[in-house]
Amino acid sequence: MSSIIHANFHSKRLVNQISALHKRRWHSAFVTIYCSRAFNELLISRDSIKFSPLSSDDVVIDVTKDFSCFYNINQPSLTKLVKEKSLNQLKGFFHFFWEAFQDPTIAILLVRSVFSLGFGIKENGPKEGWYDGGSIFVAVFLVISVSAISNFRQKRQFQKLSNVSSNIQVEVVRNGRRQHISIFEVVVGDVVCLKIGDQVPADGLFLEGHSLRVDESSMTGESDYLEVNHSRNPFLISGTKVADGYGQMLVTSVGMNTTWGEMMSSVTRDCNEKTPLQTRLNKLTSAIGKLGLAVAFVVLVVLLVRYFTGHTKDANGSKEFDGSRTKADAVINAVVQIISATVTIVVVAIPEGLPLAVTLTLAYSMKRMMADQAMVRKLSACETMGSATTICTDKTGSVYRSISSGLEFSGSPTEKAILSWAVMELNMNMERVKQNYSILHAEAFNSEKKRSGVLAKNNADNSIHIHWKGAAEMMLTMCSHYYDLEGEVKLLDHLERKKFDEIIQGMAASSLRCIAFAHKQISESSDDDIGEIQQTFEDRNLILLGIVGIKDPCRPARAIATECGILKPNNHEANDNGLVVEGLEFRNYTDEERMEKVDKIDVMARSSPFDKHLMVKCLKRKGHVVAVTGDGTNDAPALKEADIGLSMGIQGTEVAKECSDIVILDDNFASVTTVVRWGRCVYNNIQKFIQFQLTVNVAALVINFVAVISAGEVPLAAVQLLWVNLIMDTLGALALATERPTKDLMDKPPVGRTEPLITNIMWRNLLSQALYQISILLTLQFKGESIFDISEKVNDTLIFNTFVLCQGFNEFNSRKLEMKNVFEGIHRNKFFLGIIGATIVLQAMMVEFLKRFANTERLNWGQWGICIGIAAASWPTGWIVKCIPVPEKPMFSYLKWKNFKCRY
């Protein structure tokens, strides 16, 4: 014997009894327990659970009186929200600090600082001898700290964006009406509405619906769809996808309590994924580092040979090495100094700022794109979108406008448009129709069938009716009769069928979506016959009710080709302006024809998911970087195949979003243009920093190499070079990574797949600036003391100060790779100006106040003026150089080496 337990969850009745916090706990525990009981009873007998008609605030569950099974329920059995974790698995700030310590260059510098510290104290005592080694250690600590902070902030930024990308909108029934909420707000006891393309947000039980089938391949690995119904399988698992039909589910478990949550608890998302561009830059950094090691090895050998052959002299003009008469301590000190000089060259050669620049640029652009209504789900999409050569898109869906009567329509945009037309124009009483008819069975719409149907019983006379709606040309083949204007049934003969075909073609030519309605009354039937009728859901010999044309309204970006300028008026045939084909025609091309015509096609009408997928594959084979926009489940194959998939955040199904790399949050096609502009901006900013960074590395490497070979010493001390690297790698990256997109970016052709990362224009710019810096600084190295009548220490400071200021002024040149006016738009980038100002202030502090730390001497106003004047000359130098034309063909392509490929 069973009894009815009636639970009323009306918020007004509870608000005075319990607090909001206790309310949620009570609600969760109560519903979980009774759903667990209902779940258990469902396994025993379907008849044990009865759902009675509910008000908007009531839930009625029929359970038995025997509560013995609840005695074993405890906290672990109901929820496992907190799992045991080890502290050493937590990735905090010090994890990134330790990672930075493991850099080989840092390790070399630390060893060097230890040796310098030891020998310095031995030679000059602890009071004066610690400066050199201590300075290097402090500089290394600063570099590590900046790197760790940058990586830590990047990790947090990516985690924040990852949480946003997981914030799926779910449709639930609350307070008697359907509403959309975040998946994170779903609680036990909610009634969730599911349709094709949705992701099941939690574990639960099937309440009602028709033809509901789910794809559980993500959980079970089985590709077959599983039918969900009351009799055999009423269970729904979170993380699965709705493949067909629609229905409602009662939530029984959420979060980590679900099957999906338990499985995913041991899996973490990799927020440190390497993009293709980062991989290319790592290779570039590695190649330059190897070059630096080779140069350093040559320098080491040369300096050791010079020293031990007596070609080097001390401050008094005597030989530093004089055979056995030279003390062992002096030899060791000299060798350490030589090794220090070669280590300095290695430090200068490695452009460690390149990966950091990419990270900063991508993190900044992802944040700004979110503000521009574009959410990046995959990091590499930021840079790839800048190289897109082709964008494939479907026209946008119908606009839904609520009516003044207060009714709210749910369903697809097409269904909303039809229902609003029926209510507003035809005065249909929806409530009366619902009361007069009972739905026996339903076939949901999908892209393969292109139709949907319902089997309904008239409650007044028990007659059974079948109603179909779908694509007009398909529905017409299912009909044998039609209703005329007087409501009489007429035979749909060949002549009438031709007239309807012409009507459909005329609507399609006017960019209307043609939907046809058909009906058939079967007979009066008893409840015993309903099961047989459901198995014979007839779809032939129907009566055509009518055809409607739905206009897909254009967004501001214009979705329909003839209205947005993709096609010229009356361009319905193949001509010089482009090709218009239908999906069937494209599908029936031979491989050779398809590859020949695919990039000439501007519009492919009436295309199936297979056609879209095939077109994307062909475009990629032709070398295009393909972006695809879509919002339906049928778009998923093309979104997955494309280089960049863009889905719509409002109307897009969860399947489409999961297959995409970027989600357009406002469903505005104009946002795609914003995404492309940001993608090109990312690529352009990274190229700017590469030009800037390599200029520093080339100049510093050549200057130190020449100075060491000729004079046996480096003009820039290790601490000074570390300071240059700190400024260039971090502040320079920040300055150039935060440049906003400009209008001229969209005037240039896309980069594509095969374009080199370092273009001829960049080679021209960086080599000219590096040559200027090399010539000036080597002149100061060898003739500076005599030209300006200054001491060696002041001359070294002059070289250091000029070198740093040259980089600061060259940052302006790097803002524009091709334009001569490098100051255009500079007033809008306050961050850039702030970083340049901070660089100058810090450099002044290094020179004027940190003499022992930076190994510098104070400069007077005249000497500062000389440094600034030399550095400022890089502006006119850059202007003149940009007047020199460069060939379009990549520079390394002129090399005829066999199997030689340059991907930089």
On whether the CB atoms of residues 351 and 123 are closer than 8 A, the answer is no
Question: Under DSSP, is residue 189 helix (H, G, I), strand (E, B) or coil?
Answer: coil
Q: How far is CA 706 from CA 55, 224, 778, in A?
A: 88, 70, 8
- Within 57-103, residue ranges assigned H as helices are 75-78, 93-101
Indicate the residue type of 642: A
β partners of residue 518: 468, 544
Distance separating alpha carbons of residues 507 and 580, to the nearest angstrom: 17
- DSSP letters spanning 871-895: HHTHHHHHHHHTTS---SS-GGGG-
Max Cα distance, the chain (Å): 124
Burial tier of 229 (Cβ tally within 10 Å: 0-12, 13-18, 19+):
middle
DSSP letter (8 states) at residue 386: G
Candidates 214, 196, 247; CA nearest to 609 is: 196
On whether the CB atoms of residues 26 and 9 are closer than 8 A, the answer is no
On whether the CB atoms of residues 794 and 720 are closer than 8 A, the answer is no
Burial tier of 614 (Cβ tally within 10 Å: 0-12, 13-18, 19+):
buried
Q: How many CB atoms lie within 10 A of CB 519?
A: 15
Candidates 664, 603, 656, 662; CA nearest to 631 is: 656
Candidates 776, 790, 778, 772; CA nearest to 862 is: 790
Q: What is the 3-state secondary structure (H, E, C) of 277-300?
A: HHHHHHHHHHHHHHHHHHHHHHHH
Active site residue ranges? 394
CA atoms within 13 A on the CB side of 397: 21
Distance separating alpha carbons of residues 657 and 679, to the nearest angstrom: 19
The residue whose two tokens read 């930021």 is 382
- What beta strand segments (E) does 652-759 contain? 662-664
Question: Under DSSP, is residue 84 helix (H, G, I), strand (E, B) or coil?
Answer: coil
Distance separating alpha carbons of residues 833 and 730, to the nearest angstrom: 15
Candidates 194, 195, 201; CA nearest to 254 is: 201
How many angstroms separate the first and last alpha carbons of the chain? 79
Q: How many CB atoms lie within 10 A of CB 151?
A: 19
Candidates 822, 688, 773, 750; CA nearest to 354 is: 688
- Within 622-669, residue ranges assigned H as helices are 636-641, 654-658
Sequence-distant (6+) residues with CB within 8 A of 344 are: 704, 714, 716, 717, 718, 721
284-287, Cβ contacts within 8 angstroms, sequence gap of 24 or more: 284/351, 284/354, 284/690, 284/757, 284/904, 285/350, 285/351, 285/352, 285/354, 285/355, 287/904
On whether the CB atoms of residues 581 and 601 are closer than 8 A, the answer is yes
- DSSP letters spanning 393-421: EPPP-------TT-----S-HHHHHHHHH
